[in-house]
Amino acid sequence: MLVRREVQEPRPAPYDLPAIADVPVDADHLVPLSAFQYDGSRLLRNDYAFGVVTTTGAPNSSYWLLGALYSQKLDARTSVRLDPLLFGPEDRFPAMFYRMWMYGRPLDWERLRHLRQPEHGRWLPGSLRPESEFTDFCWVPRPDGIHFLAEEVPKAQSCGFEPSRYLHAIYDPTSERITHFDGALRVFAPEEIGHRHSLHVRSGGKLGVREKVFRTDEPIHRDAFTVIAQAFFVWNEDVLRYFTQELALPGSPLS
């Protein structure tokens, strides 16, 4: 059994701040991520913001590491070393955000033909969609075809006036046709949006109120599907790149 060993006083910076005086620090100067809130960039507690110790001389060098820990749902069982210099009051400590492809694979119709397990990904928003928190997508094989789901989810502060854009389609790889296709808007209550941010569209459930914008039950060619999907997600640059196959490598910042 692993026993946590706590350091003795005095605590090193930034652990000597009153805002985190009650957070346990182990002998390696690590603190549990579960003691903090994460806003996509910073670790927040008691009106203070903190960063993970940088791995290079650049102050943003641990930004992607922290995001990966949360995206892989390891925050409940991971501890980190807070940077002794990068911290401050939450309202004055800047947050870093980068437009980038987080994870997923470029669209490949031949690969989808042989899909046996769900395939999914997530993108962070570009400059044209500052209201967006992220866009999720997935392909899920089912008996009636391969279901495609995609949703552009608004930020918490935008959910009162900015709905999510939600797309659903069913692809038949034998005929290479989309047999069902619909687009909807989904409105989240303030108390729901945080929960949606913790989920992926493949497990998003029935949160929010959904209103259909369009639907077609007649088979259409997959090229028509990609054109309509891009139009439905107008100004979402990542959806455009996905369906035109102009993607950067997974994990790489997009220009």
- As a whole number of angstroms, the distance between CA 188 and CA 215 comes to 21
Hey, which residues does 26 pair with through a beta bridge? 6
- As a whole number of angstroms, the distance between CA 230 and CA 93 comes to 36
Cβ atoms of 14 and 43 closer than 8 Å: no
pTM above the 0.95 mark?
no
Measured torsion, CA atoms of residues 91, 96, 98, 101, in degrees rounded to the nearest 10: -100
Picking from 124, 62, 64, the residue whose alpha carbon sits closest to that of residue 87 is 62
Note the pLDDT of residue 250.
37
How many Cα atoms occupy the beta-carbon half-sphere of 3 within 13 Å?
Answer: 2
- As a whole number of angstroms, the distance between CA 143 and CA 30 comes to 48
Cβ atoms of 98 and 253 closer than 8 Å: yes
Note the pLDDT of residue 32.
93
- As a whole number of angstroms, the distance between CA 22 and CA 48 comes to 14
- As a whole number of angstroms, the distance between CA 154 and CA 164 comes to 6
Cβ atoms of 204 and 196 closer than 8 Å: yes
Amino acid making up residue 172: D
Q: What tokens were used for 52?
A: 């993970």
Note the pLDDT of residue 83.
92
Amino acid making up residue 247: L
Cβ atoms of 166 and 239 closer than 8 Å: no
203: which DSSP letter? G
Note the pLDDT of residue 98.
55
Amino acid making up residue 221: H
Note the pLDDT of residue 184.
92
Note the pLDDT of residue 182.
92
Note the pLDDT of residue 128.
77
Amino acid making up residue 106: P
Q: What tokens were used for 216?
A: 């077609």
> Residues 91, 98, 184, CA angle at the centre, nearest 5°?
95
Note the pLDDT of residue 66.
85
Cβ atoms of 181 and 225 closer than 8 Å: yes
How many Cα atoms occupy the beta-carbon half-sphere of 137 within 13 Å?
Answer: 23
Average pLDDT by stretches of 10, the chain with 255 residues: 54 94 91 91 94 81 80 83 92 71 77 91 82 92 96 90 92 95 91 89 83 88 91 90 61 34
- Cβ-based neighbours of 192, under 8 Å, separated by 6 or more: 207, 208
